[in-house]
Structure 1
């Protein structure tokens, strides 16, 4: 097990996911380790780190204004649904304090007919620096971005099973393509611990890959909402951090991850996207070549 610095939860607040409180003991909770500056341009070191840890945490990969501009676009486009607090700047992403007036149909129309297939989202996901990184890291002259790209917001104050992303690994949902598909998780705006960012089960990709190859996995899809028990089962830690606008995490399709509950005291929503890249020469899962929709069966 690698060593990570101790984690301090926000004042007077435990870290929870789907209502379960994470064990704060040092052998169960640690910090996500950023790629050191000395390794950022070292392909051999990056690949070794990725194989060892299952992820690359790249702070400041994008200019902060790039993701903040898209954050403003998202909340502007969905504002008519009553999602955000009236009279606030859409770029702040402050949730309406009373969601009883939230128009789900209007929101879905704005999201699935406007934001998801829109040119702004496509441009964000095909940023030149991102495409160049994946060509370089994968050693592929051409890379493929899966058209099914997912964008989520997390409301503050929600708790209980189903309100946060449960523990899972991505290959479960991408079995008809290559295992060399890589995920980018991008927080669209600052995402401190209280706002409910992504968390990773330390080095879990080694065990998951071995279990996959041996056909021993008992729970092939979403593993569990009970993150503390899963850390006990694997005898490892959940890795967390305070993300900033411009950060990106690249992770293995075998690495188990989940999200924290959003308990932001100021009512700020978490907004993030997860997208997948692979070599264009590898097998591609045809089911992921349509725009994301809640009714797409995946």
Structure 2
């Protein structure tokens, strides 16, 4: 059987494949597959959405958000951090063209990011946009929702590789042990994220296996950041990594047990991958108190 191919418009991936933290993903059909979108006809049917989420552990929803809304926040983000030297001077902030690392004022970047952008009204408005709120209300069957205050934004520069650059394999419940497990995450690409720019990817069927292993007390790997070696993890689970490229306005929803990770940003245009992950739950269920403060990369979580 021929290997699965995922051509990218840049041509980067056809020659060297998909990598995460420098590990190249296996391309055979038993280890790599396409992340399939929720059919348009099923989006208005809350029962079908919940059934699909329970079966797959995630929902791929292209075009859920207004692309202009997403790109406006992307422009706001990079414009705010331009004074710290994050992007090339004189370039359009929405392009997120990465400056050389030595030119970045890390102290200014951290101050602006954690004191201005993360707690800012623009970010809060994006995370509470009606399309998102309505979707979570369908999935949880309640209008009484709680958005966790700890909301994470990540910018990942091009050409970075090796352990610790891309998101390692993990599942979210590991970080949310002091509240309910009835929590759903939204991963939102803030701009186009083709395969070469390093999107999030999902290990097919992993939520069922993780639940079973947790219940039996047989989970072999450490709870957090299971591994950077995604090919080995796929072999361990005898499962496929599901991948796709994303456009501004697309949204991923996933459960607290599904294993996910990200690819390396190897896009030749020099742009940052920008994304956010946020979490909603029913307001009436126990809330992890550690997640009720604004995100900081030194908050210990």
Structure 2 match to 1:180: 182
Structure 2 match to 1:279: 282
1:60 paired with 2:59, answer no
Residue ranges of structure 1 left out of the alignment (5+ in a row): none
- Would you say how many aligned residue pairs link Structure 1 and Structure 2? 293
1:225 paired with 2:228, answer yes
Equivalent position SS for 1:11? helix
Structure 2 match to 1:108: 110
Do the aligned residues in 1 keep the contact of 2:21 with 2:162 (CA within 8 Å)?
yes
1:90 paired with 2:93, answer yes
Q: 2:249 aligns with which of 239, 242, 246?
A: 246
Do the aligned residues in 2 keep the contact of 1:76 with 1:90 (CA within 8 Å)?
yes
State how far apart, in whole Å, the 2-side matches of 1:183 and 1:237 are.
21
Q: Which deviations, in whole Å up to 9, do the C-alpha atoms of 1:92-131 show, x marking residues without a partner?
A: 10111x2211111110011000100000000000111211
State how far apart, in whole Å, the 1-side matches of 2:169 and 2:7 are.
22
**Pairing 1:1-298 to 2, within 5 Å after superposition:** 7-8=6-7, 10-96=13-99, 98-218=100-220, 219-298=222-301
State how far apart, in whole Å, the 2-side matches of 1:210 and 1:264 are.
38
Do the aligned residues in 2 keep the contact of 1:143 with 1:277 (CA within 8 Å)?
yes
Equivalent position SS for 2:77? helix
State how far apart, in whole Å, the 2-side matches of 1:174 and 1:108 are.
25
Do the aligned residues in 2 keep the contact of 1:6 with 1:31 (CA within 8 Å)?
no
Equivalent position SS for 2:218? coil
State how far apart, in whole Å, the 2-side matches of 1:43 and 1:289 are.
28
TM-score scaled to structure 1, two decimals?
0.96
My pick for the range that moved more, 132-141 or 220-229, is: 132-141
State how far apart, in whole Å, the 2-side matches of 1:193 and 1:133 are.
26
Equivalent position SS for 2:188? strand
Two-structure CA RMSD over aligned residues (Å): 1.0
Equivalent position SS for 2:16? coil
State how far apart, in whole Å, the 2-side matches of 1:114 and 1:82 are.
16
My pick for the range that moved more, 176-185 or 214-223, is: 214-223
State how far apart, in whole Å, the 2-side matches of 1:47 and 1:291 are.
29
Deviation of 1:6 after TM superposition, in Å, equals 5.2
Equivalent position SS for 2:191? coil
Equivalent position SS for 2:14? coil
Residue ranges of structure 2 left out of the alignment (5+ in a row): none
TM-score scaled to structure 2, two decimals?
0.95
Deviation of 1:11 after TM superposition, in Å, equals 3.5
Q: Which deviations, in whole Å up to 9, do the C-alpha atoms of 1:14-39 show, x marking residues without a partner?
A: 21000000111111111111000111
Do the aligned residues in 2 keep the contact of 1:6 with 1:30 (CA within 8 Å)?
no
Deviation of 1:12 after TM superposition, in Å, equals 2.5
State how far apart, in whole Å, the 1-side matches of 2:249 and 2:152 are.
18
